[in-house]
């Protein structure tokens, strides 16, 4: 049995460091990401080993696509700047033939229903936020407001961020809203976003505070972005409180967007339909306390999804590629985790230099989506092959549904 287990993953065993177990067979791993993994493994509070997912790639401080178990400390940069970023998917009772032949109207309706993108100047409202938040936003904010006030009593600078105005908005980059079809042509709605401006502000502040708290020792760290808070310290407790709130904000953010997207769908498709939320509203940039190998530890999933035995989740492919609704297998060696997507093979800058709008049009010819220079960095060829990523983690998850997008809204 032990020999069989060892065939599931590759090993890196750096001297005087924690082990690194990698579910990356058959997918490329950049040398810079390997170096970053080695740096993270040197931290003295890593519990057991790092678990590395097949979508692993270079990140800030530590790699995206990694599971970092710790005892007695937390690394804010390992959690990431988009706290609580994640996915939600809903299956509807509609089928492909219920959708209009021309899907541009459905994309336009979705773009009107959910603020997306970003356009900020001193004289113009940011198109990616609400100018007058609707009642659904107000209702969700009411559940978040009391804890936010407690947070801002300690850190009043958060009052000046986009928080209430960003609840129920998409953002930019790899965030998306998609209308998809599964293997039997049932219609799904799937979207990806996180804690928006307030999550970024929380993360940025606490990364700075960790570096300031460690200023006498930061030169000894393998990377200054691995600055950490020790458990029991003032900033540790404040960070855990703030990150928990931001994760809840992200969950509410996805719920609001989903309700608005479904409403837009019902305006275009007049046939009545029901919804079935088969996949959980799941984070893939977050930290929480869990029990593994008989011990209570902090699990940071930076670009990774919880895959407890029987737990449903979502692994999206790139823009123009398939996505998967999966069920976790509860593989303890991975701390019951799996990848959060395909994973980039090149930076956004490199993608924009290498590919053209014509390449983008060809790669997304089957999808109603933007096809302009501003989304070239999200071209499918900038990501790993999602089929190979899924094959590499066959011991972590089983595929329940395979989705292909027909409409994609990008920020």
Give the catalytic positions in this structure. 340
**Alpha carbons 407 and 173: distance in angstroms, whole number:** 17
**Which contacts of 207-215 are long-range, i.e. CB under 8 A and separated by 24 or more positions?**
207/76, 207/77, 207/81, 209/235, 209/239, 210/75, 210/76, 210/77, 210/235
C-alpha count within 13 angstroms, C-beta hemisphere, residue 384: 29
Q: What is the rounded CA–CA span in Å between residue 240 and residue 75?
A: 11
Long-range Cβ pairs for the range 238-242 (8 Å, 24+): 238/154, 238/155, 238/206, 239/74, 239/76, 239/206, 239/209, 240/74, 240/287, 241/150, 241/151, 242/151, 242/155, 242/202, 242/206
* C-beta separation of 302 from 68 below 8 A: yes
- Torsion on CA atoms 283, 148, 277, 342, rounded to nearest 10: -20
> What are residue 375's phi and psi, to 5 degrees?
-115, 10
C-alpha–C-alpha distance, residues 120 and 156, integer Å: 22
Of 64, 84, 66, the closest CA to residue 287 belongs to 84
Name the 3-class secondary structure at 411.
Answer: coil
Cα four-point dihedral sign 50, 51, 54, 58: negative
- b/e for 109-120, b at 16 or more Cβ within 10 A? bbbebbbbbbee
Q: Is 229 left (phi over 0), alpha (psi -120 to 50) or beta?
A: beta
The string of DSSP letters for 158-185 reads GGGSSSGGGTT---STT-EEEEEE-TT-
């Amino acid at each position: 049995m032990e020999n069989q287990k060892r065939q599931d993953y590759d090993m890196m065993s750096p001297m005087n460091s924690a082990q690194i177990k990698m579910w990356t067979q058959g997918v490329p791993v950049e040398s810079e990401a390997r170096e970053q993994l080695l740096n993270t493994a040197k931290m003295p509070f890593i519990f057991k080993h790092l678990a590395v997912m097949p979508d692993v790639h270079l990140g800030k401080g530590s790699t995206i696509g990694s599971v970092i178990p710790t005892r007695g400390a937390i690394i804010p940069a390992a959690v990431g700047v988009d706290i609580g970023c994640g996915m939600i998917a809903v299956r509807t009772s509609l089928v492909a033939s219920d959708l209009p032949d021309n899907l541009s109207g459905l994309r336009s309706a979705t773009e009107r229903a959910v603020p997306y993108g970003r356009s900020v100047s001193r004289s113009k409202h940011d198109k990616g936020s609400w100018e007058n938040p609707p009642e659904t936003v107000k209702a969700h904010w009411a559940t978040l407001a009391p804890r936010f006030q407690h947070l801002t009593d300690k850190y009043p600078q958060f009052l000046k961020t986009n928080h209430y105005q960003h609840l129920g908005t998409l953002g930019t980059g790899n965030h998306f809203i998609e209308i998809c079809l599964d293997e039997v042509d049932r219609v799904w709605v799937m979207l990806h976003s996180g804690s928006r401006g307030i999550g970024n502000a929380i993360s940025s502040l606490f990364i700075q505070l960790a570096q300031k708290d460690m200023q006498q020792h930061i030169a000894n760290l393998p990377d200054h972005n691995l600055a950490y808070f020790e458990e029991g310290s003032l900033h540790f407790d404040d960070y855990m409180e703030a990150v928990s709130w931001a994760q809840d904000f992200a969950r509410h953010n996805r719920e609001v967007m989903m309700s608005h997207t479904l409403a837009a769908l019902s305006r275009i498709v007049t046939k009545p339909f029901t919804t079935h939320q088969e996949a959980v509203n799941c984070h893939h940039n977050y930290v929480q306390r869990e029990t593994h190998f008989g011990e209570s530890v902090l699990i940071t999933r930076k670009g990774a999804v919880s895959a407890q035995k029987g737990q449903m989740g979502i692994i999206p492919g790139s823009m123009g590629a398939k996505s998967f609704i999966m069920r976790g297998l509860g593989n303890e060696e991975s701390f019951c985790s799996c990848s959060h997507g395909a994973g980039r093979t090149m930076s956004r800058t490199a993608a924009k230099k290498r590919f053209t709008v014509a390449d983008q049009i060809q790669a997304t010819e089957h999808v109603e989506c933007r096809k302009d220079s501003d989304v070239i960095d999200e071209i499918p060829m900038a990501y790993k092959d999602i089929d190979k990523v899924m094959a590499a983690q066959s011991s972590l998850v089983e595929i329940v549904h395979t989705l292909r997008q027909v409409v994609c809204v990008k920020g």
